[in-house]
Amino acid sequence: MRVKVDGISINYELYGKEDADILMFSHSLGTNLLMWDPQVKAFRDKYKLICFDTRGHGKSDVPDGPYTLEQLAQDAIGLMDVLGVEKVHWIGLSMGGMIGQAVALNYPDRLKSLILCDTAAKVKEEDQPIWQERIDTALKYGMEALLEATLERWFTKPFREKNPPEVELIRKLFLSTPVKGFVGCAEAIRRLNYLDRLSEIKLPTLIIVGQEDMGTPVEVAKEMHKRIPNSELVIIPSAAHLSNLEQAEKFNTALMDFLEKQS
């Protein structure tokens, strides 16, 4: 389903129980709402779920970039407004977790809790060339040129070598991401700088990270945990960056345990 938000069409899907607490799922760069499939199956019987495609991804519009994290947060709040939703539990992975921080810092009254998965709060100066290279490669050669290195970062080697449906799904989603949307969001991510503001977040917060995550490693999650008051941290063994797919059962258990404490 698509609705107009701030002049652009945002694609979303609704699942689950009508009168239940609402979980809002925000995906990673280069994927779309389909990456949350194992969570939809696990949570739809108990909660109402909103899964949406970030601008530049999936079936949402691809306006000219660069985008900003604040703009991506506004898109999410705009979607909530159109749907008549007052508050949600935000579940964001990687880029989705960065957008979640922007929502928590700018619209804290719209969140019941914050779940930040395999994400970061700052892109360091020394990492800027990495992001520039990804942007340049996408513009020059397309998404396929970034695919294999991305899959290597996002899944552990033993998992990748089994070539399960989860890896195939992400391969498909990554290749179908519009270059303009990827670049627009990459420009937002490279400007990520919320680390010194994390202490302002007073919401119940869970941080989840795969033990083998190279992109946003355990040390980064620990630093965020230290700075967000009363936050909880769960480290998921045998998972890399997309812990929600590689270890769906453990991820879902951590999420369910946290959410049950919030009701």
CA dist list (Å): 33 to 14, 59, 180: 11, 9, 18
To which H or E segment does residue 14 belong? strand 8-16
| pLDDT at 248 exceeding the cut of 80 | yes
- Retrieve residue 106's tokens: 């700018």
11-16 mean pLDDT: 98
The whole-number pLDDT of residue 82 equals 98
Cβ neighbours of residue 86 closer than 8 Å, sequence gap 6 or more: 80, 110
| pLDDT at 263 exceeding the cut of 90 | no
Instruction: Summarize pLDDT for 21-72 with one digit per residue, the tens.
Output: 999 999 999 999 999 999 999 999 999 999 999 999 999 999 999 999 999 9
The whole-number pLDDT of residue 47 equals 98
Instruction: Summarize pLDDT for 171-217 with one digit per residue, the tens.
Output: 999 999 999 999 999 999 999 999 999 999 999 999 999 999 999 99
CA dist list (Å): 120 to 58, 64, 85, 92, 219: 23, 25, 27, 11, 10
Contact 102, 26 (CB under 8 A): no
CA dist list (Å): 143 to 3, 97, 138, 147: 27, 22, 5, 6
Residue type for position 167: V
Q: The CATH number of the domain where 214 resides is what?
A: 3.40.50.1820
Please state, in angstroms and rounded to a whole number, the distance separating the CA atoms of residues 104 and 88: 11
pTM: 0.98
DSSP annotation string for 12-47: EEEEE-TTS-EEEEE--TT--GGGGHHHHHHHTTTS
| pLDDT at 219 exceeding the cut of 80 | yes
Total number of domains in the chain:
1
Host domain of residue 251: 2-262
What is the number of residues in the chain?
263
The whole-number pLDDT of residue 163 equals 87
Residue type for position 42: A
Instruction: Summarize pLDDT for 65-106 with one digit per residue, the tens.
Output: 999 999 999 999 999 999 999 999 999 999 999 999 999 999
- Retrieve residue 174's tokens: 């990554």
Pairing of strands 111-117, 48-52: unpaired
132-137 mean pLDDT: 99
